[in-house]
């Protein structure tokens, strides 16, 4: 009788183990499908990347020694704490120009699809400029561009909240 009970108990355990294995395999298959699903947001980020790239080429009204500085050169000038020929601080010129570009490029507002933005300029990992407007939401498009000059690393990142 005890032997029979033991055998029945073993059968139950084997059945339980088989079911546990089947469920585990099912969960693994579902997880693999979830991992393989395409990453979204690449397209959205593309436009932000294009904005940053185009904005960095913008010719500002800050005149350097030989030319009017592009925004990229203005970022470098700001990092070197240089001043424009008209006496303005290059960081102030950068701040103002960047704000005008973003405000014109992204229509931020309650009734707009763009609810806010957050721009950061980092020099050697340290935040040099930060511009915020509107609300930060969980849906956002983000992009960044980095470059290096004279051994220093510059990074401009922008998040646009929808």
Partner 1 sequence: MVSSRGQMKIQQMIFMIVAVTLLFILVGVFFLSINLSSLKKSSVNLAEENSMILVSKLANSPEFSCGNAFGSSRTNCIDFDKVISLKDRAEYSDFWGVAKIEIRKIYPNEGDKLCTSKTYPDCGVLKILDKNVKILPYSSNFISLCRKETDGKIIYDKCELAMLLIASQDKTQ
- Residues of the shown chain interacting with partner 1 in the complex, contacts defined by CB under 8 A: 15, 19, 22-23, 26, 30, 33-34, 37-38, 40, 42-44, 46-47, 50-51, 53-55, 57-59, 67-68, 70, 100-101, 104-105
**Of 115, 112, 158, which Cα lies nearest the Cα of 137?**
115
Closest distance to partner 1 from the beta carbon of 155 (Å):
18
CA pair distance 103, 118, nearest whole angstrom: 12
CA pair distance 113, 159, nearest whole angstrom: 14
CB-nearer residue toward partner 1: 18 or 127:
18
CB-nearer residue toward partner 1: 109 or 127:
109
CB-nearer residue toward partner 1: 8 or 152:
8
CA pair distance 110, 26, nearest whole angstrom: 45
Closest distance to partner 1 from the beta carbon of 126 (Å):
27
CB-nearer residue toward partner 1: 127 or 139:
139
Closest distance to partner 1 from the beta carbon of 59 (Å):
5
Closest distance to partner 1 from the beta carbon of 125 (Å):
26
CB neighbourhood size of 122 (10 A):
19
CB-nearer residue toward partner 1: 40 or 81:
40
CA pair distance 148, 140, nearest whole angstrom: 27
Residue 107 neighbours by CB under 8 Å, 6+ apart: 114
């Amino acid at each position: 009788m005890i032997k029979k009970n033991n055998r029945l108990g073993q059968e139950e355990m084997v059945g339980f183990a088989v079911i546990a294995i089947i469920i585990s395999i099912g969960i693994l298959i579902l997880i693999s499908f979830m991992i393989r699903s395409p990453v979204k947001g690449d397209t959205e980020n593309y436009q932000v990347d294009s904005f940053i790239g185009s904005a960095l080429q913008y010719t500002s009204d800050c005149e350097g020694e030989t030319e009017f500085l592009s925004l990229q050169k203005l970022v470098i000038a700001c990092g070197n704490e240089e001043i424009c020929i008209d006496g303005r601080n290059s960081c102030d010129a950068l701040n103002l120009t960047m704000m005008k570009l973003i405000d014109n490029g992204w229509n931020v507002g309650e009734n707009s699809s763009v609810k806010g933005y957050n721009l950061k300029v980092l020099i050697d990992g340290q935040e040099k400029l930060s511009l915020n407007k509107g609300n930060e939401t969980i849906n956002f498009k983000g992009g960044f561009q980095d470059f290096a000059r004279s051994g220093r690393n510059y990074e401009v990142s922008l998040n646009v909240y929808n």
